[in-house]
Amino acid sequence: MNESLLKMLQEHVEMTVDLYRKDLHAFAPNDLTRSPGAPARSAADIVFEVILNNRRASRRLRGEDAGPGPGFPACPPELQSAEALATEVADSCEELLAAVGMDPFRMIEYPGGSEIALSYGEFAVLHMQYHLGQLNYLQTVFGDAEIHWG
């Protein structure tokens, strides 16, 4: 059972990474880094938050100090391209899967309670998909009504 549940998590992560890659590459470079208006964030800023949260979840899953949440961070200039962001999303997800896989049924304590590691990993996927919806919305705000997941 452990292997099938871990495989399911891996499939969810891989699918989500693929969707991020497709959506990030669909943005015009200038649209990736612009906000539709204050206080809204750019797509790059939103994806950078996802990366930071994945890495933070990985630290917690490894039993390390997760540190404070990133809030609404600004994406650094060196990551402000579709390729750089897609690579970092994939890398942060590999780190997350490795951390969950250490012992998927151990309890993970966090400020809001506790979960088994596998469920904590699934929540990270849910968080990524939530922000994927924001990227899709920003695409429409900037005039792109296509679905890029096909």
Question: Domain ranges in the chain?
Answer: 2-141
Q: What is the pLDDT of residues 6-57, one digit of tens each?
A: 999 999 999 999 999 999 999 999 999 999 999 999 999 999 999 999 999 9
DSSP reduced 3-state for 81: coil
pLDDT score for 3: 81
pTM of the model: 0.95
CA distance 53 to 59: 10
Query: CB under 8 Å to 109, separation ≥6 — which residues?
Result: none
Other beta carbons within 10 Å of 113: 8
At residue 103, what is the residue type? D
CA distance 106 to 118: 8
Query: CB under 8 Å to 76, separation ≥6 — which residues?
Result: 48
pLDDT score for 19: 98
CATH class of 2-141: mainly alpha
Segments in the chain forming alpha helices (H): 2-26, 29-32, 43-61, 82-101, 117-141
pLDDT score for 110: 87
Q: Please state the rounded mean pLDDT for residues 132-138.
A: 97
Q: Are 131 and 85 in contact, with CB atoms under 8 Å apart? A: no
